């Protein structure tokens, strides 16, 4: 079961898209999912996280919570809160979009702890094989587990703004947050585009005008993959980058390096 096939079965129902928050890379996830939703003939309504947590769902209403890297214990937990909120209400299907989950099985098991589902169906997607195996091992019997690509990868170059590429310019896009790998040596000139960009459009332009991208931010690499910018991806602090690269990006020409010694 892939996400496109699943969504196409709900074209005649009310579908709510829940944005759990995040950075500019998460905005790419939302845009890709919305493209997929509309291709399925669905006209959705959208909620940001705080709005959704106050919302009252209706019978038959389908809830789609955008995927992310939020299935880990050190971020805000908003996708998990939204999932638990939806599952406990009388509604139709509750779908968690392609997500990366922590290798801590006890933590992933706690996502579903004490839940008594009142919705018609629960489907949780992993976006790479490591998280899929983890989810398969701990998800309750009343849920369905599936595997599909990060929804940003449903975007094409035609979905992006036209930007003149500076062929000699290299974007060194390296994260400076909780997912920075321990002991990672940042190359000279490195920036964290999530922190330096003034807007989502500015973030996009930073990537689209580059002649090459070196990064350990997953969606900087995905932006490069969509736009056809030569890109090399490096590790983050856990399995996310490597696992998504193996499942989705290696076949799209994105390179992998374990350390930035040659940048």
Domain ranges of the chain: 3-154, 163-256
Q: What pLDDT is recorded for position 186?
A: 83
Q: What pLDDT is recorded for position 78?
A: 97
| pLDDT interval class at 33 (50, 70, 90) | very high
Q: What pLDDT is recorded for position 1?
A: 87
Q: What pLDDT is recorded for position 263?
A: 63
Cα(80)–Cα(66) distance, integer angstroms:
11
Q: Which of 54, 44, 126 is nearest to 85 (CA)?
A: 54
Q: What pLDDT is recorded for position 2?
A: 96
pLDDT 10s digits, 124-156:
999 999 999 999 999 999 999 999 999 999 999
DSSP state of 100: -
Domain 3-154 has CATH 2.40.50: no
Cα(213)–Cα(210) distance, integer angstroms:
7
For the beta sheet containing 210-215, the strands, ordered from the edge strand earlier in sequence to the opposite edge, are 166-173, 210-215, 231-233, 255-256
Cα(254)–Cα(232) distance, integer angstroms:
6
Q: What pLDDT is recorded for position 187?
A: 86
Q: Quick check: 260 pLDDT over 70? A: no
Q: Quick check: 248 pLDDT over 70? A: yes
Residues 74-82 have a mean pLDDT of 95
pTM beyond 0.85: the answer is yes
DSSP 200-261: HHHHHHHHHTEEEEEES-HHHHHHHHHHT--EEE---SSSHHHHHIIIIIGGGT-EE-SS-T
Q: What pLDDT is recorded for position 228?
A: 95
């Amino acid at each position: 079961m892939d996400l496109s096939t699943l969504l196409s079965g709900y074209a005649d129902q009310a579908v709510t898209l829940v944005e759990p928050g995040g950075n500019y890379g998460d905005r790419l996830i939302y845009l890709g999912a919305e493209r997929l939703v509309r291709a399925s003939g669905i006209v959705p309504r959208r909620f940001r996280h705080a709005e959704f947590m106050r919302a009252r769902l209706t019978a038959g209403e389908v809830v789609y919570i955008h995927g992310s890297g939020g299935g880990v214990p050190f971020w805000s937990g908003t996708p998990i809160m939204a999932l638990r909120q939806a599952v406990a209400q009388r509604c139709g299907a509750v779908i968690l979009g392609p997500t990366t989950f922590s290798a801590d099985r006890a933590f992933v098991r706690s996502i579903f702890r004490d839940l008594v589902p009142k919705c018609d169906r629960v489907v949780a997607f992993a976006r790479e094989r490591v998280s899929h195996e983890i989810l398969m091992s701990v998800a309750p019997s009343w849920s369905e587990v599936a595997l599909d690509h990060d929804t940003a990868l449903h975007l094409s170059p035609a979905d992006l703004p036209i930007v003149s590429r500076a062929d000699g310019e290299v974007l060194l896009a390296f994260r400076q947050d909780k997912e920075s790998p321990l002991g990672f040596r940042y190359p000279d000139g490195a920036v964290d585009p999530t922190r330096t960009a003034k807007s989502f459009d500015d973030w996009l332009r930073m990537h689209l005008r580059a002649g090459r991208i070196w990064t350990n931010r997953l969606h900087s690499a995905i932006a490069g993959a969509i736009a056809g910018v030569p890109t090399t991806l490096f590790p983050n602090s856990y399995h996310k980058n490597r696992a998504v690269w193996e499942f989705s990006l290696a076949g799209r020409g994105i390179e992998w390096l374990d350390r930035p010694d040659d940048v």
